[in-house]
């Protein structure tokens, strides 16, 4: 029930980190995958790696589309080319997220805050709308939004980012209600995962940060990818509207570390 053979997916922001790991996971389960990212060279290298490893050398199952999630034409191109190439679009993973604002909200640049919400929330909805119109309305599908534990509990320093992820969690619930029963929409909420995006959160001392977690380690991209692979599969056919924590137990401690 976790096999995805014959299905097609889009994973946004997948040239590295969590997005790249998710693309590899979906490919390993048999899906064809479109990956997007803003930088052509990094995207091409990521696609080549996926073909060489997860896709077993089958280049026909990997499509790379240079795209900025905050750009409407880029989003449209991603969806159009996926359907043209694979003939379908069963899975959408809204992985792209940005955080150009850090710290005290009273000092926040409001243009930066607008950009965070535009990319982390509005763009995710826009991708769902496009996937719905292009394929899922008539054929069904599964959507997973990448949220964060910062959307579930105040972090202080990640305030604007956390607020955007809280909005994404609510958006996930609304979409699940409106798009059921044929389209399932869920979110995953990671804590600190060892990626380039999150380096600033643990670079000062990984051992010290890890000590706050019941599992005594930080997350790896594969930890999140395995959960996403399950949520988009038939094994999760009665799960929708959920935000599943993949946090090493940090929220169980009552803090974010």
pLDDT tens digit string along 192-216? 998 877 677 777 888 888 999 999 9
Q: Is 142 exposed, middle or buried (0-12, 13-18, 19+ CB in 10 A)?
A: buried
- Tell me, yes or no, whether 49 lies in a domain: yes
Sole residue written with tokens 């019941």: 214
Distances (CA, A) of 103 to 28, 47, 148, 158: 39, 35, 17, 6
Residue 233 resides in a domain: yes
Round the average pLDDT of the chain to a whole number and report it: 95
Which CATH number belongs to the domain containing residue 51 in this structure?
3.40.50.720
Contact predicate 92/143, CB 8 Å: yes
* Residue 181 forms part of a structural domain: yes
Mean pLDDT, to the nearest integer, of 209-233?
95
Nearest to residue 183, comparing CAs of 76, 90, 98?
Answer: 90
Domain range spanning residue 193?
8-244
Each residue of 106-154: pLDDT tens digit? 999 999 999 999 999 999 999 999 999 999 999 999 999 999 999 999 9
Question: Which phi and psi angles does 189 have, rounded to 5°?
Answer: -125, 90
240 has pLDDT over 70? yes
Q: Does 179 map to a domain? A: yes
Note whether residue 205 is domain-resident. Answer: yes
Distance between CA atoms of residues 193 and 224, nearest Å:
9
Q: What is the CA radius of gyration of the chain?
A: 17
Number of structural domains (the chain) is 1
Q: How many angstroms separate the Cα of 208 from the Cα of each of 170, 199, 257? A: 32, 14, 10
pLDDT bracket for residue 257 (50, 70, 90): low
State pTM to two decimals: 0.96
Write out the catalytic residue numbers: 161
Percentage of the chain beyond pLDDT 70 is 99
What is the strand order of the sheet 91-94 is part of?
62-66, 32-37, 8-11, 91-94, 141-146, 183-190, 243-246
| Segment 68-77 mean pLDDT | 97
- Decide: 22 and 224 in contact? Cβ < 8 Å: yes
Where is pLDDT greater, at 52 or 201? 52
Q: Is the model more confident about 206 or about 248?
A: 248
In a domain, 253, yes or no: no
- Would the pLDDT of 232 be above 80? yes
Residue 250 lies in a domain: no
For residue 1, is it within any domain? no
Tell me the pairing of strands 8-11 and 243-246.
Answer: unpaired
Q: Give the rounded percent of residues in the chain with a pLDDT score beyond 90.
A: 86
Helix (H, G, I), strand (E, B) or coil at 51: helix
């Amino acid at each position: 029930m976790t096999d995805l053979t014959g299905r097609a997916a889009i994973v946004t922001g997948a040239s590295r980190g969590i997005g790249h790991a998710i693309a590899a996971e979906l490919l390993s389960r048999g899906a064809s995958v479109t990956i997007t990212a803003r930088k052509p060279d990094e995207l091409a290298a990521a696609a080549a790696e996926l073909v060489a490893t997860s896709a077993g050398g089958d280049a026909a199952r990997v499509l790379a589309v240079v795209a900025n999630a905050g750009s409407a034409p880029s989003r449209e191109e991603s969806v159009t080319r996926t359907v043209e190439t694979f003939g379908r679009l069963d899975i959408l993973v809204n992985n792209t997220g940005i955080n150009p604002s850090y710290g005290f909200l009273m000092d926040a640049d409001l243009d930066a805050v607008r950009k965070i919400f535009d990319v982390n929330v509005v763009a995710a909805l826009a991708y769902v709308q496009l996937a719905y119109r292009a394929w899922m309305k008539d054929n069904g599908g599964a959507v997973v939004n990448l949220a964060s534990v910062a959307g579930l509990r105040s972090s202080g320093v990640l305030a604007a980012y956390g607020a955007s992820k809280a909005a994404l969690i609510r958006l996930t619930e609304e979409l699940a209600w409106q798009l059921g029963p044929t389209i399932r929409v869920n979110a995953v909420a990671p804590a600190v995962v060892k990626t380039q995006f999150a380096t600033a959160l643990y670079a000062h001392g990984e051992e010290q940060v890890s000590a706050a977690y019941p599992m005594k380690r930080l997350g790896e991209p594969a930890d999140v990818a395995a959960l996403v692979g399950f949520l988009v599969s038939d094994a999760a056919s009665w799960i929708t509207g959920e935000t599943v924590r993949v946090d090493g137990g940090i929220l169980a401690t009552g803090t974010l570390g």
